[in-house]
C-alpha cells in the first residue's frame, strides 16, 4: 500500500473471495494506524473475528510494538488504498538522541570502529530525515553500535 512501509507495513491481496491484508508495526513502540478505505464495509480482524469499523472512508487501529494484524473484507466491498501511522514522535526523538550519544563516543573509539560507525550514523540520520524509523532503529541495533556504546 503506497506510503505504508515504515514504520507500519501494510500489504494487500485481492482475491475472488475478498480483500486480504496485513498491517505490521515494525517498531517496539505502539503506533496508531489509520487506513483509507474505498467502500463502506467494515473490515474483519482475522485473529479475533472482531469488526474493524470503517467511518467516512477510514479505519483506525492501535498496534502494539511489533504487532501484526490480519484483515479481510468481502470481495468488492472494501479496499485499502492508503493510510498513515502516527504517534511516532517519541520514537523519532529517542533514535535521534541515540545517534547523538553514539557520535559523542566516536573520539574514544578505535580508528576501524570510527570508520564503520561514521558511515552507519550518516545512513541512520538520512533514514530519520526520511521518516523511516524502523529502518533507522534496525541500523542502530547492529554490532558496531553496541561496540560504541560500551566504550568506557
Model pLDDT for residues 13-71, shown as the tens digit of each residue: 999 999 999 999 999 999 999 999 998 789 999 999 999 999 999 999 999 999 999 99
Residue 119 confidence (pLDDT) above 90: yes
What is the reported pLDDT for 24?
97
Question: What value does the mean pLDDT take over residues 77-104?
Answer: 93
DSSP class of residue 16 equals T
What pLDDT sits at residue 141? 95
Work out the angle between the directed axes of helices 111-129 and 89-105 (0-180°, nearest 10): 160
The pLDDT-based confidence of 133 (bands split at 50, 70, 90) is: very high
Among 60, 70, 3, 63, which residue's Cα sits nearest to residue 27?
63
- Please give the model's pTM, rounded to 2 decimal places: 0.83
Residue 85 — pLDDT band, cuts 50, 70, 90?
A: very high
Average of per-residue pLDDT across 134-143: 96
pLDDT level of residue 99 (50, 70, 90 thresholds): very high
Contact by Cβ (8 Å): 103, 121:
yes
Q: What is the pLDDT at residue 152?
A: 83
The pLDDT, as a whole number, for residue 87 is 86
Residue 37 near residue 54, CB atoms below 8 Å: yes
Contact 25, 8 (CB under 8 A): yes
Query: Is the pLDDT score of 126 beyond 80?
Result: yes
Mean pLDDT on 92-109: 96
pLDDT, position 27:
93
Amino acid at each position: 500500500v503506497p506510503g505504508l512501509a515504515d514504520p507500519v507495513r501494510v500489504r494487500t491481496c485481492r482475491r475472488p473471495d475478498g480483500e486480504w491484508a496485513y498491517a505490521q508495526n515494525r517498531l517496539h513502540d505502539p503506533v496508531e494506524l489509520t487506513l483509507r478505505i474505498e467502500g463502506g464495509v467494515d473490515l474483519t480482524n482475522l485473529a479475533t473475528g472482531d469488526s474493524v469499523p470503517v467511518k467516512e472512508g477510514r479505519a483506525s487501529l492501535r498496534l502494539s510494538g511489533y504487532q501484526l494484524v490480519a484483515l479481510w473484507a468481502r470481495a468488492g466491498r472494501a479496499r485499502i488504498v492508503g493510510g498513515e501511522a502516527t504517534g511516532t514522535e517519541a520514537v523519532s526523538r529517542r533514535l535521534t538522541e541515540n545517534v547523538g550519544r553514539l557520535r559523542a563516543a566516536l573520539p574514544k573509539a578505535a580508528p576501524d570502529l570510527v570508520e564503520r560507525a561514521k558511515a552507519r550514523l550518516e545512513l541512520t540520520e538520512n533514514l530519520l530525515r526520511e521518516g523511516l524509523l524502523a529502518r533507522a532503529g534496525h541500523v542502530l541495533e547492529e554490532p558496531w553500535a553496541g561496540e560504541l556504546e560500551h566504550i568506557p
